[in-house]
A and B are shown apart, each in its own frame.
Chain A
């Protein structure tokens, strides 16, 4: 069974640009979570989607947004990139409220 996949692996952008990160959950999972991990720090909860709806979001500005598609895959968009947005972005999937499984992450660098 395929695990959670994320693309791209690496992404380099400049300040002010927009970044789009993608996540495909484990087959059968309806929930997708996004987390940000800045260098050397812990994971910060960003967004939670389930059945196509945003269920909760963490303490991040509105320029962090996303969506979940009918096939349960998800997209994270970061607008007006700032240098401090450079981080590893991790996606996880689960059945609603159950154990989360993580993808390999997308490393975003903002120059």
Chain B
């Protein structure tokens, strides 16, 4: 089956710093998504990005489908960005990466 690898597994940032999270897939996937899971467990949709680049405020994402990876950029990080970031994708079975745990210090 498809394997999804996220890096880094953990990230600590000072408020205001920028960061890049990466998601690698072992095979081509469609319907690639990025999520932020808040401390209460709710998954918040960030991007639906099978290919190309999208931006939403301080966040942007790029998926290079031919090379089977996606990047999530967080600029000018805030303490409220803390949490776990997941990428996911697949065909008949949606596979989630293990996540990147982000902590932003004030």
Q: Nearest Cβ in chain A — how far from B36, in angstroms?
A: 11
Interface residues of A in 56-77 (CB under 8 A from B): 56, 58
Taking the complex as formed, is A105 at the interface, i.e. its CB lies under 8 A from any CB of chain B?
yes
Q: Nearest Cβ in chain B — how far from A18, in angstroms?
A: 23
Q: Which residues of A contact B56 (CB under 8 A)?
A: none
Q: Which residues of B contact A42 (CB under 8 A)?
A: 86, 96-99
Interface mask (B68-106 → A, CB under 8 Å = 1, otherwise 0): 000000000000000000101010111111110000000
Q: Which residues of A contact B43 (CB under 8 A)?
A: 90, 92, 102
Are B92 and A48 in contact (CB-based, < 8 A)? Answer: yes
Kindly count the residue-residue contacts between A and B in the assembled complex, taking CB atoms under 8 Å apart: 52
Main secondary structure of the interface of A (DSSP, over half): strand
Chain A residues in contact with chain B, CB under 8 A? 33, 35, 37, 41-45, 48, 55-56, 58, 88, 90, 92, 97-102, 104-105, 107
Q: Knowing that A56-B92, A100-B33, A102-B43 are A-B contacts, what are 9 other residue pairs whose CB atoms are under 8 Å apart, sorted by A's residue number?
A: A42-B86, A45-B93, A45-B96, A90-B41, A92-B43, A98-B31, A102-B42, A104-B40, A104-B41
Chain B residues in contact with chain A, CB under 8 A? 30-31, 33, 35, 40-43, 45, 48, 86, 88, 90, 92-99
